[in-house]
Amino acid sequence: MNRLLTVSAVFETATGFGLLAAPSLVVSLLLGEPLTGSATPALARVCGGALLALGAACWLARKDVHSRAALGVVGAMLIYNVLAGAVLLLHGLGPPPHGVGLWQAVIVHAALLVWCFVSLRGARAVGDAA
């Protein structure tokens, strides 16, 4: 679980900083369109802050993988990866435009959600054996 939390921390922190610094660019890379309207950059930055918080939680939990708190972080990341991956996948299945990074992001979220699921299942099996 240490590697999972470290990888998640790096991806989410990088995306969070990207959304805070250049929200329209990040959204264009994913969705193929820049942000429009006066409220959307602010909303994207709020999402960036949330991703920074997830990244920080993953980073802080990475050395304490046997705690219930670390399992909670992995559970939260599982939910996040399911939802983020589904939203991006549904966008990709719709009509263009699509950003150059869309399918890579869908694949990364799918891989991370499987990794979270396997990690939680393994931790549960260890807990049941104890």
Distance from the Cα of residue 21 to its chain's centroid: 18
**pTM exceeds 0.95:** no
Helices 2-21 and 102-129: crossing angle in degrees, nearest 10, is 150
Quote the Cα angle for 112-41-28, to 5°.
55
pLDDT tens-digit readout, 54-90: 999 999 999 998 899 999 999 999 999 999 999 999 9
Neighbours of 97 (CB within 10 A): 11
